[in-house]
Structure 1
């Protein structure tokens, strides 16, 4: 059970890093550091969007952007952290 808990925790950590990477890249695009007309930038953003959109969409239905700021990544990270703590804690006690 410890191996399953470790792998689950690792998967959640990697997904959280992908979310943080997506947020940083979106800021860099807004500030003009990254040009989305570049094919590699388009490929990277497309991949990250495919990974994050399935989780973002249900959250965005209930929580719209606040003052033009999308807080979906923050809510998803908090939810994943809580879910990881509960599930991994339960697996370690088995």
Structure 2
């Protein structure tokens, strides 16, 4: 039961990171507060990762690193 809840939370977080990352590619003309809240929450989650993984050639790979780490954690928890 707990494993399934953790799995759902990790999946939700992964999708949240993907959506937040895609929203950063949209020009900032949107005044939709929901869009900005998603971006802000995603940035707060990715900021610590950026301190360990700098951009490579100007490309921010912190979302990829975060998703990989979350999938590894999910895999470990599901095997327990």
**Same fold, judged at TM 0.5 (above):** yes
TM-score (norm: length of structure 2): 0.85
Unaligned runs of 5+ in 1: 30-34
| 2:60 is the counterpart of 1:70 | yes
For each residue in 1:39-79, what CA deviation from the matched residue of structure 2 results, as whole angstroms up to 9, or x when unmatched? 11xx2332113322333122111111111100000000000
2:75 aligned partner:
85
Q: Determine which structure has more spread, i.e. the larger CA radius of gyration.
A: 1
Equivalent residue pairs, number: 80
After superposition, the CA RMSD in angstroms is 1.5
**For 2:34 and 2:55, how far apart are their aligned partners in 1?**
24
Contact 2:21 / 2:42 at 8 angstroms: preserved in 1? no
Runs (4 or more) in structure 1 with deviation over 3 Å come to: none
1:48 aligned partner:
38
Q: Which has the higher helix share?
A: 1
TM-score (norm: length of structure 1): 0.74
| 2:21 is the counterpart of 1:23 | yes
